[in-house]
Every structure is written in structure tokens, then in C-alpha cells.
Structure 1
């Protein structure tokens, strides 16, 4: 059985060679993530070149996802690089990025005193340390530590439920997005968005499809508005788990995936999917179950972060993820139905739905889609068929972007001047590449007249070789 759920792989020092990235592509990488929180432009340019070259060598379509840093708020520095805070400690919080200590912590947010009030929770070091603001003065906040731990230089600071006046796009992000345009990245992941307006701003600056990272409580509260303007979402469980109680995270993940699928958009589940494989050749049983749960709940893709960027076994981790997903994608493991996009009544949506229903009713293993923009493949994907979707497109960028769609296998072909010629091409290709045997049935979706975007209006049941 072919794998339907896609694998997003974060690149970093552990895979910074052409040979390593070639290994990732062979192991199953569908999307390469460039994390602009780390590394310089020349490093990212080199990695992007390696990805494109490896994809060509291996006959694969691999997308590039640019993940911008966004307005991450961090603490300053400490003597020796780290401090220990104990429960009950009283700590002064001031705006700045200078040297602090266990009694006075500087936080890089200029409006700290204005926007964070008494009773607000302050979370440091990705949730390891928590405190509550007890007093507010003109030049500082005073907070009492409720959960102690270690805080190192430049660790993250979060303020759940506080209404911070921050821009979703920093000056650094603007420079990075311009560089992303130069690289012709296929997607941009927008970090720390709070509203639909934040997503729209990233899209205007990048020009690429935007995947909104849902990592703030405000983003979850505004999810429907964000879904109306985004091309997809990422369930960024790391920061999201800081913004809300950990025990709520599973139900929040399920709800985000449900609503994203209902909107017909891309969904990516991220953070600590196979975290133990940073230093181990095997994942934990809980991690395997976590991955499978995300698949059952409807994710299109899962993302590896530190496992591949800095891990000891990056290629082995991708290969393991591939094996887990093949099993999780089996029909018995997937309770999703094809009722997602009932509200979309355009010709392309209706044709895609009919194609999936036909393939399901007839037990066919392959759906063929001819597409200029990739929209037909996206619609077929969101109806979540058990069949593989062979998506033929003459556009290289379209093929790369389709690499993230669940169940879609992008294939290059030259434009043909009639639908009959397209049907004949599909018949020959499927037979010659061993996708289908003679006498096997397939569903073909196309548009007439051919070679036009948004023209999908035709479905055909075809027997290979006849």
C-alpha cells in the first residue's frame, strides 16, 4: 500500500550536505522545512539547492516550506547562562534584553509593563517555569513563581491570554520573506499569528501559499477567520502547549484538524512527533501512537523538527516515520469520510466528490487528475479517498506544491491538445510504470477545454488497456 500522509522534514546541521538530503528524499521526505529562526540566508540557499537537485535525481516532487521566525519574545541573559527559580520566589520583570539574575529578569518586549497586568500568567523556557504577576509598577512587574525550574539565556517568554501589541511580521521576517521570493519557496509558515489580518500580511509579502501556525490561544480563538484566508494550518503543539493547559492539547488538536478539513485546507501536525529519535534509533510506543492518532484525526502531513535538524539519526527517523504512516494510513485505521466539503458546490468540487465516491464504491486503487494549478488534486485529497491520486501537471511549481497534499503523487507531463489524448496518456503511463495492470479500472478527472485553470468538469471511468 502507498503512503497517503506526507512527511515534512526540518533541515539543519545534521543534514547539511547534498548526500544527506538525497538520503532524506529517498527515505520519504515530501516537504523540506527551512527554519528561519536559525541559520543565515546563504545556508538556506545551499539547502534549497540541495533539495531541488535531490528531487530531480530521484524523480520526486519535493516542496520547500519557509518557516519565518515571527515575533518570538525572549528573556535576556544571566550570569553563567542559566538561573534556577523555586516555587514562591519573587521576581522583578523589566523590559529589555540585558543581564539579569534570579531576582530580576529582562524580557524583550517593550510594552511589557503596559500590556501585562496583575493576575496575568508568565511562562518561561517553553513552559518549564511559570509565574503569576502580583504587582505592577511604572518600571517593572513583580511576579511570584508558581512552578520552578531552570531558565537559560534567550529562552522564550509567553503571556497566555494577555493582549500583546505585537506585529506578526518583524523587520527580520520582511527581509526573510523577500529572500524566500528569490528562492521561489512553495509555502510559507507564518509564526505567532493572532488573526486573519496577520495571515493576509504574510501572504502579501511572500506571494506564496501561507500555512498559519496555530500556536497562540488567540489564534485558536480566531481559527475560523484564519481558515477563511489561509491555505492551511499547522498544529504547532510546542508553543500551543505553553499557551494552554497541557491536558487540553489533545482535544484542541482534534478540533483544529476537524475544522481545517471541513474548510478543505492543508493540515500539518508538528512538534515532538518522534522526539526520542534525536538520540535513539527507535521511537517510543507513545510516539508511534501519537503519529497514528494525528493521521486518524485527519492530518495531511506530520512534521519532524529536531529529530532531523540536529538529531543523530535523521535519515533513519524519516524512514521510520514512513513505515508508521503506511500502517496508519490503512483504511481500517482511518475513520474519515468523504463528507467534508459538502458546502462547496463549484463544478470542480462536485466532480472531485463524484470521482472519490466512484473509486470508493468500485474499490478502485487509483484516481488520475489532470491539473494546471493543483486545485483539483487538493479537492480530491480533502475527500480522503483510499485510492492513490496520480496528479499530472505540466507546471513544475504546481507539482512541488502538490507534494504536501494527502495521497497525491505528482507526475510531470507535457500539455496535450485534447482530453482524449490525455486519457490515452494516462492509460499508457499507468501501465508502463506498473501502477495499474491491464483490465484494471481507474477514475480520471480532467477539464474541457484542456490546459486551462479552474476548468475541471469531467470524470471518466476507464479500463486500462481498452
Structure 2
């Protein structure tokens, strides 16, 4: 199935550490790396850490129902599990919450508003009634919690994932820039850091969070619980634009083809939702339960791939992307990359070839969203795998080049070998000289494939 999913269009596989054991994930990791060797293509692996999970405790008789206007009380300890003694074993909530702030239970199905506080109790009024049952999740949209995004379990899982050699680490519950500094201290450059934007507090510091991250995931599930649903589409567009401006890959995720968990075809609204993410300029779109536990994983990936292709070939796609374009930074590396993308379009080149030691050159080219493939050539397997996440990138692992002539020859040979060009096609080649120095994009060359 992993091979079928990859051939259907999956570039990066996500391992969700909210479920399964480390042994389970090790087997999946080994299977993906074996598949990578079999198909001869770099494949990215994303470790998605669970993060803090805020839940109520055990409820008397398993559940009870409340209605709007009812009074409830949450207690830190010694709970009876009834409406006036609901267990909430999270001291950080009691330290941070204030009157008139809301608690959302079970993904917002029940909403209560704080009326008064005690040292170990929170009194609240029910705004939206419903059923409260054992271990249901709690969201606090208006409260900044003094809580690290890395729990004890996450730290153990992180070290395990890094020892396996994952390419990306996704951090849940990111609230502020300092969360990224903590994570970077543990991860270093062993993997790319992906911040999941699912808290309103993260939106308040988004520029700094994007700057400190290597990638962003628009995690619309939790985000859509904590901010009004009508605000999510606009926020999605803002986040995609911010990442394009910073030349950082951005993923749009959660419930994209949710009905295909149990049905062989999506709703028209879901197809439109995926297309909207493509029109917004996202680097990648992500499936969750649809491919992890659904009944139609292969069909879901095939459907998503068809929607992406159809959208990118629509006559309005280039003009919509152009309307959302961002200005590159005023520096030689960014200017050269931008010029390469523009030049490729103007001369009808078949590809932009970027030699990259860190992935930065490919990311700078991808920011301009050129209408041709971006061939990211690198000698580093880790960089090749991370580049699979970039918009339009065709990642290729190749030996390092040491001269200008070798660069051109390698670019031409790669395009022919990867069936991205034929004899006499034009290609734009971008590199940094001296070769192998990260971030030094400074050279642009037009070459005709197949000619010396």
C-alpha cells in the first residue's frame, strides 16, 4: 500500500505519534526507506508529535448532559465527576484562565464561560449545552497557557524519531516563538521543524514563528475549533502568503477529503476546498484519517492528485497565483532565483534546475511558483527528502559538482534521465559559486539540453 500511495502522488509520509508504539513507527519508517531504495526517488518522512493533550478526567456514570444556562464547576483534584465537580487535572489552566474566558469541550460541542475562580476550582456557565463524557478534550481559545509544546512523551518520541532519521518534526500546540527556540535546542539541524498553527495565540506571533520554523502546517482542525469557522479561510490565505514571503514550505491540512474515510468519492465542497488550497499557493496538501484509517486510502490519494492536476491546469490558475504573488527579498540570492523563474517562463524552458546544498535555492525558486518543474539537485539525502515537500519540486540526489562545466553537464543529464526534457529543449540552471556553500545562489545559466 505504501508503494501504491507513493506512485499515486504521495511525496512525504506522515507518522502520527498520537497513535501507535515506537516499534510500530520504526517498522513503517523502515518500509518507507526500503520503498525509497526500490523506486530510486527521495521520499520525505514527517514525525508528527502528539503535544500536550488537555482533557477532563473521569465522569460519574461515564457522561452527563448540560444545557445552556446551567452552572458547572471544574476542580483540580478530589472530583466527584458530576456537573459541580468536573475533574480538570491541569494546574496550568487554573493559573492562567480568567473570568469571561471560554472552555470548549469535545471539539466545541459544549462551550462554557468562566464566571469566577478559586485556588483549585473554576465556576462557569454553560453557553452551548451537550454531553460531557470521560476524557473529552478541552480547548481554551482565549487563554495563553504556560505549557511547553513538548511533553515527556514527546521528548522520548522526538529522540526516537531523530535516531531513525525522520526528515521533518511537526510540533503541536505552538503558542509563541520561544516554543520554537526550545525545540531547536533539541533538534538542531537533524530535521526540519514544522510548526502546526492550531492555536489563536500562534496567530498573534506568526511572523516570528514563521521565521524560526523551517515549515508551517495550517492545522485547520483545532484552529477551526478555537477561532470562528468563518475566519479559517482568510487565516489560511494569510498563512500561505506569509510562508511564500519567507520562502518556507506550507501545508494545508485536516478534513480535506473527510467523507472519503467511509465513501469512495468526496463531496463537491471537499473537492473545492482542496482546489482552494492549490489556488492559495500551498506547497502541499495533507490527508489524515482518509489515508491512515479510512476504507479508501489509495482512491483518496488518487482523487487528491486529480484535483491538484486539474486545478493547476485550469486557465485561471496562473492569474490567481500571480494576483497572490509576493515580492522577493532585496538580496542577490533571492533576485537570482526570482529571475530564473521569470526567465524560464519567458523563454518557454522545460524546467528550472537548482543546485542546492541546503534546499534554500530550491525554496527561493519555488516561492515564485514558476509554470515548469523545479529540479532540486543535491548531494545530501536529507536535503533531497526535505525538498520533496516544496511546491513544484522534483527532488534528485546526485554527486556534488565542483566546476561550472560539470554543473551544466549534470543538469542536462538529469533532465534527460528523469524524462523532464528532450533533445534541444531549453532549461534554466541556478547555482551558487563556490559550489557547496549554502545560501550563496548567485549564478544563472540558460542551456540547451543535449548540446555541449
- TM-score normalised per structure 2: 0.94
> Structure 1 residues 390 and 113 mapped into 2: Cα distance closer, same or farther (>3 Å)?
closer
| SS state at 2:182 partner | helix
Residue pair 2:355, 2:431 contacting (<8 A) in 1 also: yes
Provide the residue aligned with 2:184 in structure 1: 203
Relative distance call for 1:63 and 1:148 in structure 2 (3 A) is same
C-alpha deviation, 1:364, in angstroms: 2.2
- Between 1:81-90 and 1:367-376, the stretch displaced more is 81-90
Partners of 1:97 and 1:199 in 2: CA distance: 36
- Could you say if the C-alpha distance between residues 415 and 116 of structure 1 is closer, same or farther in structure 2, counting changes exceeding 3 Å? closer
Distance in 2 (CA, whole Å) between partners of 1:314 and 1:77 is: 35
Using CA pairs below 8 Å that are at least 6 residues apart, which structure has the higher relative contact order? 1
Partner of 1:242: 225
CA distance in 1, matches of 2:51, 2:36: 29
Aligned residue in 1 for 2:74 = 93
Q: Does the 8 Å CA contact 1:94/1:112 hold for their aligned counterparts?
A: no
- Equivalent of 2:301 in 318, 343, 352: 318
| Aligned-partner Cα distance in 1 for 2:392–2:361 | 13
Query: Could you list the per-position Cα deviations for residues 180-239 of structure 1 after superposition, in whole angstroms to 9, with x for gaps in the alignment?
Result: 220111111111111111011112112222111111111001111212211121111111
1:176 alignment partner in structure 2:
157
C-alpha spacing 1:27/1:364, structure 2 compared with 1 (3 Å): same
Q: Which residue matches 2:317?
A: 333
Q: Could you report, residue by residue, the CA deviation over 1:258-290 in whole angstroms, capped at 9, with x for unpaired residues? A: 222112211111111111010011111101111
Counterparts in 2 of 1:76-225, with a 5 A limit? Answer: 76-79=57-60, 81-96=62-77, 100-207=81-188, 208-225=191-208
User: How far apart, CA to CA, are the structure 1 residues paired with 2:312 and 2:298?
Assistant: 21
Equivalent pairs counted in the alignment come to: 446
Shifted more, 189-198 versus 144-153: the winner is 144-153
Counterpart of 2:53 (choices 72, 75, 91) is 72
User: In the alignment, which residue of structure 2 is the partner of 1:17?
Assistant: none
Please, which moves more after superposition, 444-453 or 399-408?
444-453
Instruction: Give the whole-Å Cα distance in 2 for the aligned partners of 1:56 and 1:297.
Output: 34
Q: State the distance in 1 between where 2:385 and 2:151 align.
A: 28
Which of 254, 260, 265 matches 1:277?
260
Q: CA deviation at 1:376?
A: 0.8
115-124 vs 409-418, which moves further: 409-418
5 Å-filtered alignment, 1:418-437, equals 418-437=403-422
Q: Which residue is equivalent to 1:343?
A: 329
What is the root-mean-square deviation in Å for CA atoms of aligned residues? Answer: 1.9
Unmatched segments (≥5 aa) in structure 1: 1-19
Residue 145 of structure 1 aligns to a residue whose secondary structure is strand
Q: Which runs of 5+ in 2 are unaligned?
A: none
Deviation at 1:420? 0.9
